[in-house]
């Protein structure tokens, strides 16, 4: 095992070393997370709107017994609240990520917008 580490250490250079590998990995992770955020928030918002429409329709449907309507409405409201919480957490994390990762390049800052 000691020889393996020594061989790896001999391959490092000024441009390829633990710090540069770490920085590139960190940048790649930030990029993936930002792309996910851009993709996921609109989907979650559309789902909330769909659930809200379903909730409104259900509450106005007199064919369904009232106790069943109220139970279903409570479940749908919980789903909406959960999605709203996820969106809120994603947004609050999004606003902090540039502060958390101050060495982000201008390119990644632009991607966040």
pLDDT tens for 34-53 read: 888 888 889 999 999 999 99
What per-residue string of b and e applies to 10-43 under the rule 16 or more CB within 10 Å gives b? eeeeeeeeeeeeeeeeebeebeebbeeeeeeeee
- Does this model's pTM top 0.85? My answer is no
Give the pLDDT confidence score for residue 38 in this predicted structure. Answer: 86
Please give the pLDDT value at position 108: 47
What is the reported pLDDT for 1? 55
**Mean pLDDT, to the nearest integer, of 20-24?**
91
What is the H or E stretch that residue 110 is in?
helix 106-112
Closest by alpha carbon to 27, among 86, 108, 89, 111? 108
Q: Cα-flanking dihedrals φ and ψ of residue 59, to 5°?
A: -65, -25
DSSP code of residue 43: H
Q: What is the C-alpha separation between 70 and 74, in angstroms, rounded? A: 6
pLDDT of 10 higher than 70: yes
Band (16; pLDDT cuts 50, 70, 90) = confident
In this predicted structure, the answer to whether residue 15 has a pLDDT above a threshold of 80 is yes
- Asked whether the predicted pLDDT for residue 32 surpasses 70, the reply is yes
């Amino acid at each position: 095992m000691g020889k393996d580490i020594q061989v790896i250490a001999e391959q490092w250079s000024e441009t390829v070393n633990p710090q540069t590998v770490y920085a590139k990995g960190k940048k790649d992770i930030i990029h993936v997370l930002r792309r996910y955020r851009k993709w996921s928030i609109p989907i979650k918002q559309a789902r909330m709107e769909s659930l809200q429409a379903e909730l409104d329709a259900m509450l106005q449907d007199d064919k369904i017994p009232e106790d069943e309507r109220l139970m279903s409405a409570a479940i749908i409201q919980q789903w909406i609240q959960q999605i709203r919480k996820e969106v809120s957490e994603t947004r609050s994390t999004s606003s902090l990520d540039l502060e958390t990762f101050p060495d982000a390049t201008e390119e990644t800052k632009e991607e966040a917008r």
